[in-house]
Every structure is written in structure tokens, then in C-alpha cells.
A and B are shown apart, each in its own frame.
Chain A
């Protein structure tokens, strides 16, 4: 087993464990956010192994650096260190439903396994900033500009939602 394959399984185990830890941690919201950071960083490691270097950098900057900090900021702003919620209704049923969904995905993957692509050899620099930038600003320029519009709408929406009164 080569180094990158071993790293893939190590990061995969870390990501799964921290994701489960995030979901089952019912007492401390900040600890759940920290588990989410571990999951994001593990996924960034997997992206590096899968030759998506720029995506890995963006993953760490945006997810671990911005989104989770925003979560922790809101948790601390609302002073929610301990949450004491009663258990939800039909918990076992929802758990079984999720497991059934996983079983369905596994069966689907097993039946489609022969149609999955064979892994090809890559050209030099695949997934680096040069290749990705060239693709982003030529073939996918319209989508790129549309995301700028989306971010503008999100900024305006977030300010209006969090504002105390609209007319002042």
C-alpha cells in the first residue's frame, strides 16, 4: 500500500469519526463545531490525495477558517454553551430511515460498480491554480459571475435578517 492510499484511509477514518462525534454530541455546541473543523481539515487532506490542491486550500480557508468561525461566533454571541433540549420525537424511526438510506446508496453503488470510470493518468499540474483558473475564467465564466451575484444577495439578506428593525 503506497503512502497516498494509506493517507486516504487515515483521513477517511478521521472524517467519519469527527462527523459522528459532531452529530452525537448533544451537550456542548462549541465542541460540535470543533469536531466539524476536524472533519473539514480531514476532507482537505483527502482532496490533496485526490490531486485537488487548490480545492484543498480553499476548503481550509473557507470552511475551517470562515464558516466554522461564524458558527462559533454565533454560538458565543447567543451564549449557548450547554444546550438542554428534550429528545425529539420518532428518533428511532429517523435513525432507521438514515440507515435505510445508507443501505440503498450501498446497494446502488454495488449494482453500478461496473459503470464507474476507470481512473486515468493525469496531466502535469492537474488541480493546480493555473489549470483551474484557466477553466474558471474561460469555460465557466458565466457560472463564476453568477456566484458573485449570489454572494451579493447573501450579504444583503444576512444584514436585513440580523437587523433589529428595518425602518431605522
Chain B
């Protein structure tokens, strides 16, 4: 029997690593990958709680999150390609027009 605390702890660690990647990396593709990592950490917490409660709602939610992640990647990589076409770069420092 796996303790639920350890599942949530692993989820928190993966989420922190994903946050760190999304904040510190300059490469837009790696930032998208880090966001995927954060979504996976949330999925892990959902599955852990679904196992603990014996309720399938958490697993259904994971299916929805996977769908949203797929849609997000499709649109995000479309933005990357459009940006590369205009700026010839995937460095986020080159697209800071909307930054304060």
C-alpha cells in the first residue's frame, strides 16, 4: 500500500521542477515542455487521490487534462513556428513586446 503523502510529495517535487524550468529557461520549446511537466504533476496528484478514495472522478479528470495538454501543445507549437518565421529565433527575450 503506497502512502498518499508520498504520491502528493512526488507530485509537488515534479511541479516545482516544472516551475523552475518554465521560469529560468530561455528556449520557448523547453518552456512548453516544462508546462507539460507541471500538468503531469497535477495528473499524478489526481490519480493518487482517485486511488485513495476509490473514486473514478479523479481519473476522468486526468483524461480531460491530457486532452487540454494536447490542445495546448498543438497551439503552442503553432505559435513557436509563427514566431520563428517572423523573428528567426525561439528565444523568449526576443518577443517581449507585451512584457511590462
Interface residues of A (CB under 8 A from B): 4-5, 8, 12, 15-16, 19-20, 22-23, 26, 29, 32-33, 36, 39-40, 43, 46-47, 49-52, 54-55, 58-59, 62-63, 66-67, 70-71, 74-75, 77-78, 80, 83, 85-86, 88, 91, 94-95, 97-99, 101-102, 105-106, 109, 113, 116-123, 126-127, 131-132, 135-136, 140, 143, 147, 150-151, 153-155, 157-162, 164
Please, how many angstroms separate the alpha-carbon atoms of A22 and B31 in the complex? 11
Interface residues of B (CB under 8 A from A): 1-10, 12-21, 23-27, 29-30, 32-34, 36-37, 40, 43-44, 47-54, 56-57, 59-60, 62-64, 66-75, 77-82, 84-85, 90-91, 93
Please, how many angstroms separate the alpha-carbon atoms of A117 and B16 in the complex? 24
Contacts A120-B53, A151-B71 given; does A62 touch B33 at CB 8 Å: no
Please, how many angstroms separate the alpha-carbon atoms of A85 and B29 in the complex? 13
Please name all residues of chain B whose beta carbon is closer than 8 Å to the beta carbon of A120 when the two chains form the complex: 52-54
Q: Is chain A's binding surface mostly helix, strand, loop or mixed?
A: helix
Pick the residue among B12, B37, B60, B74 that contacts A36 (CB under 8 A). B37
- Which 5 A-B pairs give the minimum distances between C-beta atoms? A161-B78, A154-B71, A23-B21, A85-B26, A105-B12
Contact across chains for B90 and A78 when beta carbons are under 8 A apart: yes
Contact across chains for B5 and A154 when beta carbons are under 8 A apart: no
Please name all residues of chain B whose beta carbon is closer than 8 Å to the beta carbon of A22 when the two chains form the complex: 21, 30, 33-34, 37
* 7 additional A-B residue pairs with CB within 8 Å, beyond A22-B33, A147-B68, A158-B77: A8-B6, A29-B27, A29-B30, A102-B13, A140-B57, A154-B70, A161-B75
Contact across chains for A161 and B81 when beta carbons are under 8 A apart: yes
Please, how many angstroms separate the alpha-carbon atoms of A150 and B29 in the complex? 22
Please, how many angstroms separate the alpha-carbon atoms of A127 and B60 in the complex? 10
Please name all residues of chain B whose beta carbon is closer than 8 Å to the beta carbon of A8 when the two chains form the complex: 2, 6-7
Pick the residue among A62, A116, A140 that contacts B52 (CB under 8 A). A116
Contact across chains for B70 and A151 when beta carbons are under 8 A apart: yes
Contact across chains for B18 and A164 when beta carbons are under 8 A apart: no
Closest chain A CB from B79 CB (angstroms): 6
Contacts A15-B10, A157-B78 given; does A119 touch B73 at CB 8 Å: no
